[in-house]
A and B are shown apart, each in its own frame.
Chain A
């Protein structure tokens, strides 16, 4: 969902479109749910690469609960096309906020259990401390972002630096490492999961009722029941779904703090309904480029785990 958010933000920036407050809160809570599910996948598959197989089994159970929330709202577990230009696709169903709340209450103890297993573990520390160390200057040179940049101590988080949606309301702490090794990055991911839980708990309480899409009917189609009743709504439904909407001419680069790093979309429009050029800047491709320099003076077994700590997904490297 972070990726959908990046593209939607780029389009909204070109259109100068205002997203309603309720939609912003929904986006933030789903972004943080995505962040937790990404970090639980990333840290624990990294653990599996190191050799610990249990954390991934536990974390995948937690991910199932989060993917169930994904499924309840837009209908698909993973490729939920939910965050759209102008807002979100549909409103939250009844009871979802209550279920998210009860799930997050027990999630913090799940994080504690996983941490109990790994963080103080002697073998874990031997495999992670002082391995894959990057200095702050190296991280900036190689174009790292997200946890890879915060590991060596560069306090950069797009949610704080350039707040979008309602991130400035929720005020999370940004965990930052000191040594820039894999152990720091692992601890940062765990702590980010806790901060995401904190945001998710705050969002339903602060969320106002209201519209979930921008009021501009040329941009956001109306709901289906309105479409079936009114001629104008039918036209407003037909037009975006066939022709799409036209986006004015300039270009923009918009980035969001995706769980893996900075996910950016460089969008060039020529005024028509299709983008002239859309380049996706995936964090994984910058991180994987640094693999060579990060693995110098380490052993072959460390290379696999350095790939894990960089949180690389080959799909975004290749695009």
Chain B
């Protein structure tokens, strides 16, 4: 059973409405699905005998601000039984909530928290959806493309108050963006 088997088998077996796009390439096989069918699809992939995708490696988010559903949440999966990797992608916007897969894959717990913290995509039925990487009291979702690189606040130790205080950022010079991309090079939109 090689890398293509479970991809092909699952495409032939599950209802076609679950997946609206599939891609098969040497860069990795992937299914694009709706948030409505995400849980069913992952459940199928995990539990079905000929797919047995039991390891959720990672969940990550990507922000495409030009799209209507700007966030793409990517689930990277691994089947140790059939030695295959597969990727399931779904799209959401700022208010769409995605059903959490923690009940299927406990490793999703922290990964979903990270997607929430970094992008603001919330998950239904997550047992503990709170910030994980940002500071206590942090506002904003840092990995969104409209969040500035330097952030909005900076912290420093304040001697009179004898504690660390958080203040709006003070930039001593304007942010310099070095863009060396050549204007003659072809670029495709992300």
Specify whether A and B are partners. yes
Q: Which residues of A contact B (CB under 8 A)?
A: 13-14, 16, 137, 140-143, 145, 149, 154, 156, 161-162, 242-244, 246, 248-253, 255, 262, 264, 266, 268-274, 276-277, 279, 281, 285-286, 289-290, 293, 318-319
Chain B: interface secondary structure?
loop
Known: A143-B105, A272-B187, A318-B133. A252 touches B27 (CB 8 A): yes
Which chain A residues border B189 with CB–CB below 8 Å?
A: 270-271
The docked-state distance in angstroms from the alpha carbon of A5 to that of B28 is 18
Pairs of residues from A and B, 10 with the lowest C-beta to C-beta distance, nearest first: A143-B107, A270-B190, A279-B60, A271-B188, A243-B180, A252-B27, A281-B58, A140-B54, A156-B80, A277-B62
- Measured in the bound complex, the distance between the Cα atoms of B187 and A246 in whole Å is 9
Q: Are B107 and A268 in contact (CB under 8 A)?
A: no
> How far is B26's CA from A266's CA once the two chains are assembled, in angstroms?
14
10 CB < 8 A contacts A-B? A140-B54, A140-B80, A141-B105, A161-B83, A162-B83, A246-B187, A264-B76, A268-B62, A286-B110, A319-B133
On chain A, the residues within 8 Å of B76 by CB distance are 253, 264, 266, 281
- Is the Cβ of B56 less than 8 Å from the Cβ of A143? yes
Separation of A268 and B63 alpha carbons in the complex (Å): 11
Contact call B190/A268, Cβ cutoff below 8 A: yes
Q: Are A289 and B187 in contact (CB under 8 A)?
A: no
Closest A residue by C-beta to B85: A253
Q: Which B residues are CB-close (under 8 A) to A274?
A: 181
Cβ-based interface call for B25 (8 A) = yes
Which residues of chain B are near A251, meaning CB under 8 Å?
27-28, 74
**A contact patch SS:** mixed
Inter-chain contact A285/B110, CB cutoff 8 Å = yes
Kindly state the separation between the CA atoms of A202 and B190 in the bound complex, as whole angstroms. 44
**Residue among A140, A289, A290 with the most chain B CB within 10 A?**
A140
Cβ contacts under 8 Å, B63 to chain A: 277
Per the bound structure, the CA–CA distance linking A244 and B182 in Å amounts to 10
Within the complex, which residue of B26, B56, B58 is in contact with A264, where a contact is CB–CB below 8 Å? B58
**Complex formed: what's the CA distance from A140 to B55 in Å?**
5
Residue in B57, B133, B180 whose beta carbon sits within 8 Å of that of A281 in the complex: B57
A273–chain B nearest beta-carbon distance, Å: 5
Chain B, 84-127, contact with A by CB distance < 8 Å: what is the 0/1 string? 01010000000000000000011101100000000000000000
Alpha-carbon distance A299/B59, docked complex (angstroms): 32
B186 interface contact, C-beta 8 A: yes
Pair A13/B190 contact, Cβ less than 8 Å = no
Q: Which residue of A lies closest to B27 (CB)?
A: A252
CB of B187 within 8 A of CB of A270, answer yes
Cβ-defined partner of B188 (8 Å) among A243, A249, A255, A319 = A249
Contacts known (A271-B188, A281-B76); A244 close to B180, Cβ less than 8 A: yes
Query: Would you give the shortest CB distance from B100 to chain A, in whole angstroms?
Result: 14
